[in-house]
Structure 1
């Protein structure tokens, strides 16, 4: 076992295995369905994890309202997508349902299924403390009502309900039978409370995972049992200085900067070092992990594509070396060579990962993140 995985095991061992619960949500705040068989609770009643700011324009936005006048329009538009957001809750219910309304009627994309674009994902913590997949909420229309799962042993259990990756939501409700308790989860233990923030591209956002829980950011959040803030913006993860300022407002465990797939080599040279310096003004001590772009599947056969990766990475490595030489002791670097494997089987289109590619990416990033999170215990 590698040192990083030993640290990961140690981190997980510090988390209580029981489904510890906080206050019970008042059932009078729920809405009963027409036949009285389900009580619908607003997901905000248990809290939305993965949302870095509370002063948002819409209830499930990823950026604060002020960002509308700060960031580029494409970034602002994509900030309405709910990728990375989840509701963590405890219930003694024997059945969990969900009702959600998306903001875009296009539920799927040609290369990404509706279950990932507009669906939900439900996980439950097992007796050993590990998160286990339970059910996927499959979108049927702009508003979908679905019984997600049932049949687990009696007693309180802790759940994670992930929201859509490539669509926004205007409402999300958790449905429980009358008489069942919905409880806020206990605060995460010391060492697990600060989130890991990922800033990047369509890949970070989750393209093209089959369901919300399969993007690498979510996989890593479950493995380390820490909150995750996903700031992936499809085609728009371009090291914008305004985004650096917004990131600096967040008190986090680690920043993961993964923007090379949206940048040309010249842009990397121009933007990488200033971006880190700008972020450092607000967070001089927080670990920052710079991630190279994944090797696209075509790079093996197309020399020009291979050269693009070489040039892109050279610009990022030069920025890293310069910053470290100038005294940055909390800057780290991750090679992109093995992020999605080297057999060409980890993507949908040569670029965007399949679930296999995301799992591989999570494995590689876990090795880099474990020591950084271990230092924050």
Structure 2
């Protein structure tokens, strides 16, 4: 665990906190947060005073700081049991610091966690801050998994001249191991300041162009069940979705979820 509980652009509740949701009347709703106040140990009451009854809960761990140990306690007379194991294959989401959850105010607001609650679907979040580089070794590791769907949303960490070669090689490795599993390529988000910085905007457009070229090349080469998501709707166009122009606020993550949810639902439905 890192002694720095927060980042300059991300609060301690997101970097190092816990986030608790409860399933109430068939819908996941936020219930409480474990706010980190000191290093290395913290103790917090996540909720109290609710009526007795059997309920399902999900507890999200910190988005950036590692948790060495988490202990849960309940009041006398109450019982805490593991939930049934989800029988559906997971969605594997590979990406950058944005995928990892930077810079949500709390763990439950990362886009993959929002979608997991909405879709009743387990997501494996493989966001690597600054390191979504599409190395072949990473592709082989991802290929060891057996997901319902691969989401590749890491283009922000690549240079434009790297996108075509790395994206095609990465997808080919996944497809060799999983001939039928859907793969979704996601364009990089539009940085909030790109509209007035020609160099930033040019780099973005080049990355998107190279990703589209990789997508079309793979299709021509016979790679099936490959799909493409455009990037403009991930943040919107009003400049309000990022804390620093790059990393999402809670609003940005909600917009990502809203944009990708219908695509993901359709791809999963097609496999049933």
**Normalized against structure 1, the TM-score is what?**
0.70
Q: 1:164 aligns with which of 53, 62, 67?
A: 62
Q: CA deviation at 1:314?
A: 0.8
Per-residue deviation at 1:316? Answer: 0.6
1:184 aligns with 2:184: no
Q: Tell me the alpha carbon deviations over residues 302-333 of structure 1, each in whole angstroms, 9 at most, x when there is no partner.
A: 12211111100111111110111122221100
Choose the corresponding residue for 2:9, options 111, 119, 131: 111
Counting matched residue pairs gives: 271
CA distance in 2, matches of 1:295, 1:285: 31
**Alignment RMSD (CA, Å):** 1.1
Residues 72-130 of structure 1, C-alpha deviation per residue, up to 9 Å, x if partnerless? xxxxxxxxxxxxxxxxxxxxxxxxxxxxxxx1111000000000000000000011x11
CA–CA distance in structure 2, aligned partners of residues 195 and 146 of structure 1: 31
Distance in 2 between the 1:337 and 1:259 partners? Answer: 15
After superposition, give the CA deviation of every residue in 1:254-291 in whole Å (9 maximum; x if it has no partner). Answer: 11001110011101022110110011121111111000
Aligned partners of 2:14 and 2:266: how far apart in 1? Answer: 31
| Pair 1:218-2:113 in alignment | yes
Q: Which runs of 5+ in 1 are unaligned?
A: 1-102
More strand by share: 1
Match of 1:122 among 12, 20, 37: 20
Match of 1:360 in 2: 255
Q: Report the counterpart of residue 375 of structure 1 in structure 2.
A: 270
Match of 1:328 among 223, 242, 247: 223
Question: Which of 21, 35, 57 is the matching residue for 1:138?
Answer: 35
1:294 and 2:189 aligned: yes
Higher helix share: 2
1:338 Cα deviation (Å)? 1.3
Q: Where do 1:20-31 residues align within 5 Å?
A: none
Task: Give distance in 2, aligned partners of 1:266 and 1:335.
Answer: 19
SS of equivalent to 1:289:
strand
CA distance in 2, matches of 1:359, 1:239: 26
Q: Report the Cα offset of residue 186 of structure 1.
A: 2.2
**Regions of 4+ moved over 3 Å:** none
What corresponds to 2:152 in structure 1?
Answer: 257
CA radius of gyration, larger in? 1
Please state whether the residue corresponding to 2:45 is helix, strand or coil: strand
Counterpart mapping for 1:1-377 below 5 A: 103-127=1-25, 129-141=26-38, 142-188=40-86, 193-377=88-272
C-alpha separation in 1, matches of 2:169 and 2:190: 25
* 1:42-100 superposed Cα distances (whole Å, 9 cap, x missing partner): xxxxxxxxxxxxxxxxxxxxxxxxxxxxxxxxxxxxxxxxxxxxxxxxxxxxxxxxxxx
What's the CA shift for 1:153? 2.9
Q: SS at 2:69's partner residue? A: strand
Structure 2: runs of 5 or more not aligned: none
Tell me how far apart the structure 1 counterparts of residues 200 and 139 of structure 2 sit (CA, whole Å): 29
Q: If the length of structure 2 is used for normalisation, what is the TM-score?
A: 0.97
Per the TM alignment, residue 187 of structure 1 is displaced from its structure 2 partner at its CA by 3.2
Alignment partners' CA distance in 2, 1:350 and 1:323:
32
